[in-house]
Amino acid sequence: MAHTIIFQPDGARAQCADGDTLLTVSGGAGIELETPCGGAGNCGKCLVRVENQAMSAITEPERESLSTEEIAMGFRLACQCRAHGDMTVFIPETSRQSRQIIVSDGRAVSGRLKPGLACLILKLDKPSLNDPRDDWQRLSEALAARDFYNIKIDYTALRQLPGALRAGAWTISVVLWQAREIIAVFPGEKEKIYGAAIDIGTTTLAGFLGDLTAGEIVAQAAAANSQVRFGDDVISRVSHCMMEDDGLERLNRAIIGDVNQLLERMRAKAGVDKGDVLDMTVVFNTVMHHIFLGIRPDWLGRAPFTAAVRGPLNIKARDVGLALATGAYLHCLPIEAGFVGADNVAVLLTQRAAIDDEQTTLVIDIGTNGEINLIGNGRVLAASCATGPAFEGAQIKHGMRAAPGAIEHLTIDPEQFAVTLATIGRENGVKARGICGSGIIDAVAELRKVGLLLADGRFNKEIDCPRLRLDEKGKYEFVLVWATESATGHDIALTQKDIRAIQLAKAALYAGARLLLRRMKRETIDRVILAGAFGSYIRVESALAIGLFPDCPVEQVEVVGNAAGVGARIALFDVDMRREAARLAAMAEFVETATDPDFQNAFASAMYFPPWPEAGAARGIL
């Protein structure tokens, strides 16, 4: 039996089968809801209000996420509520996916220009009755005269060859890939050929279009990974592939579509034809690697977390469905292990000079799946730490991505406990509607600083503070923004449960770093590199205050932005760096933290916040 669902305030209508979830129906109606947990029911972000009773009963996940008052008002989680009749559903603004603020790092890349492509201009003899050699023989002999032997030709380039020769009056530009294969031919003298470098993250994508003849980035763009509607973390996406018959196909189609849109935007900016983009490097974590290539990721979600392939890959871009030149190649940098991917190898490319240094450098790429490397003294130790999506706001009651209305930084007055906010979009009058990762780290650090948060993560109820109160479930929370000052008309608070989520996330990173130090037989870290777009927004002092990583002088902590994207560009412009990436992946010593007993002990200790030497100590809370 079909039911009609009306979504307000949009007025959108959709038909659905009996028992479909409102999350599924809303997606079909073109309404994208926040679903960091991929519809598992444990994030509470897809909140909707239903105006009749033609629906399934309240589920246990809903009782955990919703207050008694919200349930009485008709609020449900769209991923849990199933339609059993015609319904009218109101969608609050806070439940909709916001347009995320994404930073693509456009910093210059130093290094050699040695691309994997060469464009040769050849002048061939025109055929005659006395010289009836075929076009391919004529071209092969001209290449041999330039010391290129046993060259093969891509089928699509072969089809282009006769027309290109005659259109160019027997002058032709030939694009050679790795001095082995002709992948494109152009009539006359071709001046420019291009390549692309793409960093595919779990949440965001960053793309760069490069002129391979000049060694310059001519356009760049960034976008959200549309797979987030299937879950914010890689485990949710592996589960989707395993549980749904067409799960892998849907995820693959989504990411290929995202990349093609990114390529189209960059080509439009630079005025470059699709047929002129002939090479591409791509980096990603291991799960994204498999899904992008259409390889089932099922076994990445089960011990021993085995990848289908770890080494570098050269694949025809058309075989993957990419909108590049028909003969173009795609180079996938190698992955290291089940949860340490090519993006980590790309980061190592940018820091390769430090590997042989006597100093010890900790390289951290903070994301849904934190990747850490300890390098120095000729060694590379790598580990993956399941930080979860808390730093991206997914497990936080009023958490959100870095979109307009997100609190990105804050301070708390130590006397009156007044909160001073920096909100994304504030210059345009946008009020706070939630808090993103950098703001969360600031909030926890500031609460420690003013003595409102104890070392074990509990709120200090001994202090008289009007912002510290009990929520509807009798749990303590700290109000960051009062309802009269917020965009939602509701208080924005940090709860005790939120603090625990941050403790779990930061403890995973800290304990992982401690385990790597122990393996390298070192006690201290000389230098810290914070990579990733998220790392660009973190206040280093706040990160140290909550114990995000082992202690290090502030001046020795460097923020490098999207290092994975930089590494992808290095590999695009210098083909030797692709071999270097393979060498780094092979030499990296992967440390499995999950099964190491030392990690469990370090993790338990790292749940505590480090002492704060100022206001916290003065209040006697340390």
Higher-confidence position of 98 and 406: 406
Looking at the structure, tell me whether residues 24 and 79 fall in a common domain: yes
Bridge partners, 345 (sequence order): none
Handedness of CA 286, 288, 291, 294 (dihedral sign): negative
What is the amino acid identity at position 531? Answer: A
Do 422 and 409 meet the contact criterion of CB atoms below 8 Å apart? yes
Higher-confidence position of 568 and 104: 568
Looking at the structure, tell me whether residues 15 and 84 fall in a common domain: yes
490 CB-near residues (< 8 Å, 6+ apart): 483
pLDDT attached to residue 384: 83
Tally of structural domains, the chain: 2
pLDDT at residue 212 tops 70: yes
Can you tell me the distance from the alpha carbon of 559 to that of 107, in angstroms, rounded to the nearest whole number?
A: 13
pLDDT attached to residue 443: 93
The model's pLDDT over 348-363, given as tens digits with 9 standing for 90+, comes to 999 888 898 888 999 9
Do 570 and 111 meet the contact criterion of CB atoms below 8 Å apart? yes
pLDDT at residue 620 tops 60: no
Higher-confidence position of 221 and 26: 221
Share of the chain above pLDDT 90, in %: 45
Bridge partners, 172 (sequence order): 122, 187
Is 302 domain-assigned? no
Looking at the structure, tell me whether residues 179 and 144 fall in a common domain: yes
| Mean of pLDDT values over 296-303 | 83
Looking at the structure, tell me whether residues 80 and 134 fall in a common domain: no
Can you tell me the distance from the alpha carbon of 294 to that of 268, in angstroms, rounded to the nearest whole number?
A: 28
pLDDT at residue 85 tops 60: yes
pLDDT at residue 106 tops 50: no
**Strands (E) located in 11-147:** 12-17, 47-50, 75-77, 87-90, 117-123
| Mean of pLDDT values over 597-609 | 87
Q: How would you class 11 by CB atoms within 10 Å of its CB: exposed for 0-12, middle for 13-18, buried for 19 or more?
A: exposed
Looking at the structure, tell me whether residues 126 and 63 fall in a common domain: no
Do 457 and 445 meet the contact criterion of CB atoms below 8 Å apart? no
| Mean of pLDDT values over 177-203 | 93
Looking at the structure, tell me whether residues 15 and 86 fall in a common domain: yes
| Mean of pLDDT values over 227-247 | 83
Lowest mean pLDDT among 96-110, 389-403, 531-545: 96-110
pLDDT attached to residue 614: 47
Bridge partners, 362 (sequence order): 374, 528
Distances (CA, A) of 544 to 159, 374, 417, 534: 60, 18, 22, 15
pLDDT attached to residue 616: 43
Is 32 domain-assigned? yes
Handedness of CA 505, 509, 514, 519 (dihedral sign): positive
pLDDT attached to residue 181: 96
279 CB-near residues (< 8 Å, 6+ apart): 115, 116, 117, 177, 195, 196, 212, 328, 329, 331, 572
Q: Which domain holds residue 155?
A: 117-187
Is 575 domain-assigned? no
Q: For residue 10, give the CATH number of its domain.
A: 3.10.20.30
Q: How would you class 597 by CB atoms within 10 Å of its CB: exposed for 0-12, middle for 13-18, buried for 19 or more?
A: exposed
Q: Output the CA angle 263-268-273, nearest 5 degrees.
A: 80
Is 85 domain-assigned? yes
Q: What contacts 24+ positions apart, CB below 8 Å, involve 122-125? A: 122/146, 122/171, 122/172, 122/173, 122/174, 123/170, 123/171, 124/165, 124/170, 124/171, 124/172, 125/170
pLDDT attached to residue 368: 64
| Mean of pLDDT values over 8-26 | 81
Handedness of CA 119, 120, 125, 129 (dihedral sign): negative
346 CB-near residues (< 8 Å, 6+ apart): 199, 283, 333, 563, 564, 565, 566, 567, 568, 570, 571, 581
* Neighbour count for residue 601 (Cβ, 10 Å): 13
Looking at the structure, tell me whether residues 41 and 87 fall in a common domain: yes
Can you tell me the distance from the alpha carbon of 43 to that of 79, in angstroms, rounded to the nearest whole number?
A: 10
How many helices (DSSP H) and strands (DSSP E) are in the chain?
18, 27
Looking at the structure, tell me whether residues 132 and 89 fall in a common domain: no
CA-based end-to-end distance of the chain:
62
pLDDT attached to residue 579: 94
Q: For residue 156, give the CATH number of its domain.
A: 3.10.20.880
Can you tell me the distance from the alpha carbon of 207 to that of 176, in angstroms, rounded to the nearest whole number?
A: 24
- 38 band by pLDDT with thresholds 50, 70 and 90: low
pLDDT attached to residue 451: 92
| Mean of pLDDT values over 476-489 | 90
- 347 band by pLDDT with thresholds 50, 70 and 90: very high
pLDDT at residue 245 tops 50: yes
pLDDT attached to residue 417: 93
Can you tell me the distance from the alpha carbon of 383 to that of 381, in angstroms, rounded to the nearest whole number?
A: 7
Higher-confidence position of 541 and 595: 541
| Mean of pLDDT values over 262-289 | 94
pLDDT attached to residue 581: 95
**H-helix or E-strand spanning residue 608:** none
- 201 band by pLDDT with thresholds 50, 70 and 90: confident
Can you tell me the distance from the alpha carbon of 335 to that of 581, in angstroms, rounded to the nearest whole number?
A: 9
- Three-class SS of 469-525: EECCCCCEEEEEECHHHCCCCCCEEEEHHHHHHHHHHHHHHHHHHHHHHHHCCCCCC
Bridge partners, 361 (sequence order): 375, 527
- 333 band by pLDDT with thresholds 50, 70 and 90: very high
Edge-first strand order for the sheet with 476-481 is 468-470, 476-481, 492-495
Six token digits for residue 607: 């749940």
Distances (CA, A) of 26 to 11, 81, 593, 611: 12, 12, 39, 47
Look at residues 95, 127, 145 and tell me which one is the last residue of a structural domain. Answer: 95
Can you tell me the distance from the alpha carbon of 286 to that of 36, in angstroms, rounded to the nearest whole number?
A: 19
Six token digits for residue 473: 């479930």
| Mean of pLDDT values over 441-464 | 93
Looking at the structure, tell me whether residues 129 and 51 fall in a common domain: no
Do 372 and 590 meet the contact criterion of CB atoms below 8 Å apart? no
> Closest Cα to residue 395, out of 531, 231, 607?
231
Q: Output the CA angle 582-586-591, nearest 5 degrees.
A: 135
Bridge partners, 527 (sequence order): 361
pLDDT attached to residue 345: 93
Is 615 domain-assigned? no
Look at residues 164, 187, 210 and tell me which one is the last residue of a structural domain. Answer: 187
pLDDT at residue 615 tops 60: no
* Neighbour count for residue 53 (Cβ, 10 Å): 9
Is 347 domain-assigned? no
Look at residues 172, 187, 202 and tell me which one is the last residue of a structural domain. Answer: 187
Looking at the structure, tell me whether residues 63 and 14 fall in a common domain: yes
Give pTM, 2 decimals: 0.79
1 CB-near residues (< 8 Å, 6+ apart): 17, 18
Can you tell me the distance from the alpha carbon of 395 to that of 34, in angstroms, rounded to the nearest whole number?
A: 12
pLDDT attached to residue 621: 44
Edge-first strand order for the sheet with 171-177 is 117-123, 171-177, 181-187, 152-153
pLDDT attached to residue 619: 42
Q: Give per-residue burial for 107-137: e unless 16+ CB within 10 Å, then b.
A: eebeeeeebbbebeebebeeeeeeeeeebee
Mean pLDDT of the chain: 86
Is 131 domain-assigned? yes
Is 25 domain-assigned? yes
pLDDT attached to residue 110: 54
Can you tell me the distance from the alpha carbon of 212 to that of 380, in angstroms, rounded to the nearest whole number?
A: 31
Can you tell me the distance from the alpha carbon of 242 to that of 159, in angstroms, rounded to the nearest whole number?
A: 41
Higher-confidence position of 72 and 147: 147
Do 448 and 459 meet the contact criterion of CB atoms below 8 Å apart? no
